[in-house]
Amino acid sequence: MVNKLIKEDTKMFLTGNEVLAYAANSAEAEFMYGYPITPQNEIMHTWCKLLPKTEAGFLQTEDEISAGFSTIGGILAGKRAFTATAGPGNVIMQDAQSMAEMMRIPFVCAVMQRGGPSTATVIYAQQETRLTCFGGNGEGFRIVYSTAGHQDLYDYMIKAFNTAWKYRFPTYVLADGYQGKMREPVTLYDPASRGITMVPTTKALLADGQIGVDRKSAHLRNTYNMEEELMEVLEGYKADYEKMSEEVAEWEEYKAEDAEILVIAHGIVARSARTAIDELREKGIKAGLFRPITIRPLAVKPLRAAVSRAKQILFTESANGQLAQMVLEKLYGLNTPYSTLFKMGVGVTGDDIVNKVESMAVAV
């Protein structure tokens, strides 16, 4: 057991990376495995600084491959373990993430997106959206929370552990370099004070009881001999995933009820959209926001309902439509016209969105 540091509501002025370390502690996370890459380093800096008080564990590994795989090792030992990464680190960690997907390991990872492809910038982007949802040689049986600020980071990092351990799919907090590095006020709390109970962990290997007396030896594998054998396993996963989707899918609407122009954005860009929507409403333009919080799985029903009500859609991202592609697939059959405002690896400001929506309104 670890010592939880936040025992009552505490308002603090922190960077997002610091918030994530505190959130993991509040979620009773016992071990972090990690490898340095900007812009997520301060998660492990903070985690390490707090170790004498929390009595949790930490290992700095030789790369993100081993950070991912050793996290799996820790989880198999029954620890609430996690890791964090970004950019090229997220790319090479897909190896471990695929294995977690195949073996239904409650893998928790914070991804602080930076510019891509490859080294690119260390600053900010939304270009790991597709990678985080569908990376690896699998089907994307993953749960991805896209946060839009520090309170989200705290809330969803705690939630990620419970989602992962309840449903046994790899679970991500997808943020970005801005959220990691920026400072803003946040209220930290003991999850119990919000009625949140942490889902108990279990040991996959060296579980209680004697081999040959109380139980058989555990043989965990991610190899299959026969095509049909694999498909049978994956069909089971798919059924579990679909059943779970309605329970975990989250979204947020802002002035979307009567919106004629519906902005669809996730993460920090959705925050810029809020600023823009207030300004547009003052100018008499009925704009609204649909923000998927889980970008995998998407909240399909409310998404389609909001899009059906609108006259036009605007997709905006700090990427070239990575979310838009996932959303459009779910909008099949609807014919609401859409426009795009994509800034690859660059922040989208409120002004950007205001200008774009105004031009869309004029066009109508």
Partner 1 sequence: MAEILTLPPNLPDAQNAEVGASKFCPGCGHGITLKALAKAVDELGIKQKTVFGCDIGCSLLAWNYMDLDTVQTHHGRTTPVIYGFTRANPEAIGIAYMGDGGGLAIGAQHLVNATVRGERMMIIVVNNTNYGMTGGQMSPTTMPGQKTETTPYGRDCSVTGKPAKAAEMVAAIADPQKSFVARSSVSNMMKLKQTFVKGLKNVQNGGFSFVEVLSICPLNWRTNNVDTFGRLAQMEEFFEVKEFLVPEGV
Partner 2 sequence: MSRTKIVLAGEGGQGVQSIAKILVEAGYEAGRQVLYIPNFGVEQRGGVSIAFCQIADETIGEPRFAKGDIIIMLSDRAIDRCSAYVDENSIVVYDTSVCTKKPEVKCKEIIGVDANKIANEQLSARVFNIIILGVLLEATHVLELSDIKNAMEQALGKKFDAKPELRELNYKALEMGMGLIKERTAV
Least separation in angstroms between residue 13's CB and partner 2 is: 4
Indicate which single residue of 4, 38, 61, 134 sits in contact with partner 1 (rule: CB under 8 A).
Answer: 61
Nearer to partner 2, 142 or 271 (CB): 271
Closest listed residue to residue 5, CA positions, set 46, 36, 39, 40: 46
Least separation in angstroms between residue 16's CB and partner 2 is: 10
Contacting positions for partner 2 (CB under 8 A): 13, 119, 121-123, 149, 178-179, 181-185, 268, 271-272, 274-276, 278, 347-352
Indicate which single residue of 65, 120, 196, 234 sits in contact with partner 1 (rule: CB under 8 A).
Answer: 65
DSSP assignment letter at 199 = P
In one-letter notation, the amino acid at residue 345 is: G
Q: Does 136 bind partner 1 (CB under 8 A)?
A: no
82: left (phi over 0), alpha (psi -120 to 50) or beta: beta
Residues near 214 by beta carbon (within 8 Å), at least 6 away in sequence:
208
Q: How far apart are CA 333 and CA 345, in angstroms?
A: 31
Q: Does 66 bind partner 1 (CB under 8 A)?
A: yes
Q: Does 210 bind partner 1 (CB under 8 A)?
A: yes
Indicate which single residue of 137, 197, 217, 335 sits in contact with partner 1 (rule: CB under 8 A).
Answer: 217
Least separation in angstroms between residue 137's CB and partner 1 is: 11
Q: Does 233 bind partner 1 (CB under 8 A)?
A: no
Q: Does 168 bind partner 1 (CB under 8 A)?
A: no
236: left (phi over 0), alpha (psi -120 to 50) or beta: alpha
Nearer to partner 1, 50 or 81 (CB): 81
SS3 322: helix
Q: Does 79 bind partner 1 (CB under 8 A)?
A: yes
Helix (H) or strand (E) holding 75: helix 64-76
Least separation in angstroms between residue 350's CB and partner 2 is: 4
Indicate which single residue of 48, 76, 196, 233 sits in contact with partner 1 (rule: CB under 8 A).
Answer: 76
Q: Does 231 bind partner 1 (CB under 8 A)?
A: no
In Å, what is the CA distance from 327 to each residue of 75, 117, 156, 307, 314? Answer: 32, 22, 22, 11, 12
If contact means CB under 5 to 8 A according to the sort of partner, which of partner 1, partner 2, none does residue 82 touch?
A: none
Q: Does 234 bind partner 1 (CB under 8 A)?
A: no
SS3 225: coil
Least separation in angstroms between residue 116's CB and partner 1 is: 23
Q: How far apart are CA 23 and CA 346, in angstroms?
A: 27
Least separation in angstroms between residue 191's CB and partner 1 is: 22
How far is residue 255 CA from its own chain's centroid? 24
Cβ atoms < 10 Å from Cβ of 62: 9
Rg for the chain (alpha carbons), in Å? 21
User: Which range of residues in 27-35, 132-140, 141-149, 318-326 is near partner 1 by CB under 8 A?
Assistant: 27-35
User: Which range of residues in 47-55, 73-81, 254-262, 314-322 is near partner 1 by CB under 8 A?
Assistant: 73-81
- Which ranges in 81-145 belong to alpha helices (H)? 87-102, 129-134
Least separation in angstroms between residue 232's CB and partner 1 is: 18
If contact means CB under 5 to 8 A according to the sort of partner, which of partner 1, partner 2, none does residue 245 touch?
A: none
Q: Sheet harboring 251-254: ordered strands across? A: 251-254, 287-292, 261-264, 312-317, 338-342
In the complex, the residues that contact partner 1 under the rule CB under 8 A are 30-31, 33, 57, 59, 61-63, 65-74, 76-79, 81, 95-96, 99, 204-207, 210-212, 217-223
